[in-house]
Amino acid sequence: MKSLKKYSHFFSTFILGIATISDISFSQQSNFTLYEQNIFGSDAKIRMVPVNGGRFTLGSPKNEKGRNKDEGPVHDVLVDDFWMAEIEVTWDLYELFLNRTSDQAKGEKGNIQIDIDGVSGATQPYVNYNKNGYPTINITQYAASQFCKWLTAKTGNYYRLPTEAEWEYACRGGSQKAYSFGNKSKNITKYAWYNKNSDGKTHKGGQKLPNAHGLYDMHGNVAEWVLDSYSPETYIVWGKGANNPVKKNQALYPRVVRGGSYKDDLNKLRSASRGYSTHRWKQRDPQVPKSLWWHVDATHIGFRIVRPRIEPKKEDLNKMWVRPKKEY
Amino acid sequence: MKNKKTIDRRSFIEHSAKITAAGFMLSSLPANSKKLFSIEGEIKIAVVGCGGRGTGAVSQALEADPDVRLVAMADAFKDRADDCLQSLNEKYPNSDKINITQETIFTGFDAYKNAIDMADVVILTTPPAFRPMHFEYAINQNKHVFMEKPVATDVAGIRKIIKVGKEAKRKKLNVVVGLQRHYQKNYKSVKSLIDRGKIGKIISGQVYWNSGGVWVRPREKGQTELEYQMRNWYYFNWLCGDHIVEQHIHNIDVANWFIGSTPLSAQGMGGREVRNGKDHGQIFDHHFVEFTYPEGQVIASQCRHQKGCMNRVEEVFQGSRGSITLNSGHYGVIKNKRNKIVYNHDGEKDINPYQQEHNELFAAIKSGEYRMNDTSRGAEATMTAILGRMATYSGKVITWNEAMEMDHNLVPELHSFNDTAPVLPNSKGEYPVPIPGITNYR
């Protein structure tokens, strides 16, 4: 809570400091701390945790227990500073976008201006949930990204899904071991909901221990969308080192999900473990074209948002938002 | 009306004669199976009702057997048929599965006849109001049928469906109704365990379809009243049957199936709390019904279309020796009396039930065998939901037998978008909404 004050200070500096790019960087730099994102017209707040960027080793070594081949070769990657949401996006939060009741409420905004009416609205989900505090599930990557776009329009701050590299960097919290808390898998139950302790369901966010950044449920609960398309050879292509890499292509499947879920065994919860989407998640959608917004059999898939510390230029805003793709 | 009946009877007699003749040659094969196999093994399908679900069903039919060909499409609206064709062409580019030309896209109120005439198997996926009429024509023309639930919106429609269903049986035409839980493994596995006494006798249950609701298609300039209603069909009882019939039928159907009977009576409550927009027609946004079954079992049925509330689409039953929870996400759990899980269905690899229902239908058709007629199940489930709707609309106890005797006919004969719609708005644009205690059935 102490950080709230810092946040409001940050916010005012941020809004005044729009003269030049370097001014912004400077004002952001001095206020790169935890903040709560307000959403005008609701009492919802999103706690955003700062993740200081840096160079780290992406992937897992060959001798890591439970490792898959697609987690190698390990290589150095640089990621820039970003904030990441403390917990996975919850139903109560997502419903603000779904029901669009707070859209016209105005308040103090960041300096990104996009028209909120231009953000397409999602259809109602077809999934069982009891919303408050529980992670949004069954969501498509596009629907997750549209939430980010809507939130950007609403707040004036740039939000998007994390890249695969950002996600792993944030999950590790400086640890190159199998989990953010080390290699001892018996500790997993203190940090994560997975197949042995979840009772086959998602749980309210933030009930287990956080990692070193203060992020909750990076391991388990729901697997989280990232921006990247999946290839078992991603890391071979990225080679010896990469700066802020992201692998994007047109194909809707497979795309990467990270962190494992309440359904998975502990190997899939490892920091380096890479999951990916399949057609099966939408096969029970009886309509053609199939829903852009919802899967049917992906009750273990949710998402978390990030905000890069350096905002993209206006013409680049769309680059890191997911484009819709019709599915038949 | 009288004239039409006479004609129907005559054409019926002609068909019967043909069937008898064919029957001598092909023994137990259905009348048109000779035709099926004589055209280089191709099975011709037509879709009547080209919305998202119709397009989906066509795609599942095409996947069910490599010899299936789409040869005709019918819809009241040209643009819907065009969208459907575009989607199918995207899904099956340059495929000979889609044999559609502008001449085989039929639009308007009689389009279904032209399309059905061209096919061996028809897919009936319009709004449910038109299902009885389409089903009757299809069976008269000796076609196998896949039809979506619900199969009617009123009692008159139910009576027609039952009558035509018997005719389909006599003609040995395969009929699948899109209550796909019957083709889903978790439901079938749990049902067989109940039949073997795993939870004793079912005493009570709760069935749910609680969600945020569905699409709205606002009125557009230049639409006639009837066109507007048929575009925004979900919100008009004569077209949709209300969401208790259109969606919640799935869960109510499971109650009938698992108990093994239709209910004797229903009583309930419902209304429109948040569904009050100008394009929200006349349907309720919530219904809560108690269905009482012959051995005294009571099923509580709730369906809600209100945003921001608990979402739950599920079926739960209590037996004398345990309980069951089921949902369409391949979920099926049986607990014993001590609340301990004794069966937990692993559905991770289960086949998509929407595909399975077509796989079974087309396997039957290909083999030339008569294997399925889901008509009475579909009619009973639809009628149970209509009974529930009558209970919530009127606020009275209504028995099954009373309802089945009622002159309850919501769907008029229609020939053009200039025809008068069966319900009309008042000067403020509001449609008549049922009022419990005032709305009556007899």
Tens of pLDDT, residues B127-140: 999 999 999 999 99
Q: How far is A254 from chain B (nearest CA, A)?
A: 18
Cis amide linkage into residue A50, ω under 30° from 0: no
The Cα B150–Cα B31 span in angstroms is 27
Residues B110, B58 within the same domain: yes
Mean local confidence (pLDDT), B4-30: 41
Tens of pLDDT, residues B97-115: 999 999 999 999 999 999 9
Strands B105-107 and B68-75, how do they pair? parallel
Residue B118: per-residue pLDDT: 98
Mean local confidence (pLDDT), B311-337: 96
Residue A9: pLDDT over 80: no
> B352 and A283: CB-CB below 8 Å?
yes
> B59 and A299: CB-CB below 8 Å?
no
Phi, psi dihedrals of residue B201, rounded to the nearest 5° = -85, 140
Interface residue B56 vs chain A (CB under 8 A): yes
Which of A288, A290, A295, A297 is the best mutation test for B, with the most CBs of B within 10 A?
A288
Q: Which residues of B touch A90 (CB under 8 A)?
A: none
Residues B308, B162 within the same domain: no
Looking at residue A57, the DSSP 8-state letter turns out to be E
Phi, psi dihedrals of residue B322, rounded to the nearest 5° = 165, -170
Residues B68, B175 within the same domain: yes
B289 confidence band (pLDDT: 50, 70, 90): very high
Angle between helix axes B131-140 and B155-170 (nearest 10 degrees) is 20
Which of A43, A102, A128, A138 is the best mutation test for B, with the most CBs of B within 10 A?
A128
Q: Which residues of B touch A127 (CB under 8 A)?
A: 311
Instruction: Spell out which chain A residues touch chain B, with contact meaning CB-CB distance below 8 angstroms.
Output: 95, 98-99, 123-131, 283-289, 296-297, 299, 326, 328
The Cα B385–Cα B252 span in angstroms is 7
Q: How far is B428 from chain A (nearest CA, A)?
A: 25
Tens of pLDDT, residues A140-169: 999 999 999 999 999 999 999 999 999 999
Residue A239: per-residue pLDDT: 82
Rg (CA), chain A: 19
CATH of the domain at B313: 3.30.360.10
Q: Please name the member of A95, A128, A288 whose beta carbon is closest to the beta carbon of B312.
A: A128
Mean local confidence (pLDDT), A196-225: 97
Mean local confidence (pLDDT), A242-262: 96
Residue B192: per-residue pLDDT: 98
Kindly identify which residue of chain A lies nearest to residue B326, measuring between CA atoms.
Answer: A128
Q: Which of A13-17, B269-273, B348-352 is predicted least confidently?
A: A13-17
Half-sphere exposure of B365 (CA within 13 A, CB side): 34
Q: Please name the member of A98, A124, A287 whose beta carbon is closest to the beta carbon of B56.
A: A287
- Percent share of chain B, pLDDT over 70: 91
Q: How far is A297 from chain B (nearest CA, A)?
A: 6
Which ipTM did the prediction report?
A: 0.86
Residue A30: per-residue pLDDT: 57
Kindly identify which residue of chain B lies nearest to residue A286, measuring between CA atoms.
Answer: B56
Q: Say which residues have a Cβ less than 8 Å from residue B327's Cβ, sequence separation at least 6.
A: A128, B313, B314, B315
Residue B318: pLDDT over 50: yes
> B52 and A95: CB-CB below 8 Å?
no
Mean local confidence (pLDDT), B236-250: 98
Which of B146, B216, B247, B311 is the best mutation test for A, with the most CBs of A within 10 A?
B311
Residues B212, B300 within the same domain: yes
Whether B67 is in a domain gets the answer yes
**What residues pair up with B208 in beta bridges, in sequence order?**
B302, B314
- Of the candidates A147, A175, A150, A178, the one whose C-alpha atom is nearest the C-alpha of residue A161 is A147
Q: How far is B329 from chain A (nearest CA, A)?
A: 6
Q: Which residues of B touch A126 (CB under 8 A)?
A: 211, 313
Whether B60 is in a domain gets the answer yes
Dihedral sign of CA atoms A287, A288, A293, A299 in order: positive
Residues B149, B38 within the same domain: yes
> A128 and B311: CB-CB below 8 Å?
yes
Interface residue B211 vs chain A (CB under 8 A): yes
Are B165 and B377 in contact by the 8 Å Cβ rule? The answer is: no
Residue A306: pLDDT over 50: yes
Residue B24: per-residue pLDDT: 41
Conformation bin of residue A89: beta by default, left when phi > 0, alpha when psi is -120 to 50: beta
Residues B204, B320 within the same domain: yes
Whether B327 is in a domain gets the answer yes
Number of domains in chain B: 2
CATH of the domain at B80: 3.40.50.720
Q: Please name the member of B57, B90, B212 whose beta carbon is closest to the beta carbon of A124.
A: B212
Residues B230, B112 within the same domain: no
Q: Please name the member of B91, B307, B354 whose beta carbon is closest to the beta carbon of A124.
A: B307
Residue B38: per-residue pLDDT: 35
Whether B423 is in a domain gets the answer no
Q: Which tokens hold the place of A81?
A: 């500073």
Q: Which residues of A touch B55 (CB under 8 A)?
A: 287-289
Whether B394 is in a domain gets the answer yes
Each domain of chain A, given as residue ranges in start order, spans 28-320
Domain that holds residue B120: 9-181+368-374
Mean local confidence (pLDDT), B296-316: 96
Q: Which residues of B touch A285 (CB under 8 A)?
A: 56
Q: How far is B67 from chain A (nearest CA, A)?
A: 20
Q: How far is CA B243 from the centre of its chain?
A: 12
- Percent share of chain A, pLDDT over 90: 83
Mean local confidence (pLDDT), B285-303: 98
Residue B142: per-residue pLDDT: 97
Tens of pLDDT, residues A173-201: 999 999 999 999 999 999 999 999 999 99
Quote the pTM value: 0.89
Kindly identify which residue of chain B lies nearest to residue A124, measuring between CA atoms.
Answer: B212
Looking at residue A312, the DSSP 8-state letter turns out to be P
The Cα B202–Cα B295 span in angstroms is 10
Are B156 and B46 in contact by the 8 Å Cβ rule? The answer is: no
Q: Which residues of B189-198 are buried (b: 16+ CB within 10 A; e: fewer)?
A: bbbebbeeeb
The Cα A271–Cα B404 span in angstroms is 62
Residue B27: per-residue pLDDT: 42
Q: How far is A199 from chain B (nearest CA, A)?
A: 11
Residues B87, B194 within the same domain: no
Residues B32, B164 within the same domain: yes
Q: Which tokens hold the place of B143?
A: 């076609």
Phi, psi dihedrals of residue A167, rounded to the nearest 5° = -60, -45
Mean of pLDDT over chain B? 92
Mean local confidence (pLDDT), B419-435: 97
Residues B210, B335 within the same domain: yes
- Of the candidates B54, B388, B360, the one whose C-alpha atom is nearest the C-alpha of residue B188 is B360
Chain A / chain B CB contacts < 8 angstroms:
71
Q: Please name the member of B55, B313, B352 whose beta carbon is closest to the beta carbon of A288.
A: B55
Residue B98: per-residue pLDDT: 97
Tens of pLDDT, residues B192-206: 999 999 999 999 999
Tens of pLDDT, residues B148-169: 999 999 999 999 999 999 999 9
Q: Which tokens hold the place of B191?
A: 């049902």
Q: Which tokens hold the place of A89?
A: 């996006």
Q: How far is B312 from chain A (nearest CA, A)?
A: 4
Interface residue B352 vs chain A (CB under 8 A): yes
Q: How far is CA B241 from the centre of its chain?
A: 11
CATH 3.90.1580.10 fits A28-320, yes or no: yes
Tens of pLDDT, residues B340-377: 999 999 998 999 999 999 999 999 999 999 999 999 99
Whether B356 is in a domain gets the answer no
Mean local confidence (pLDDT), B254-263: 98
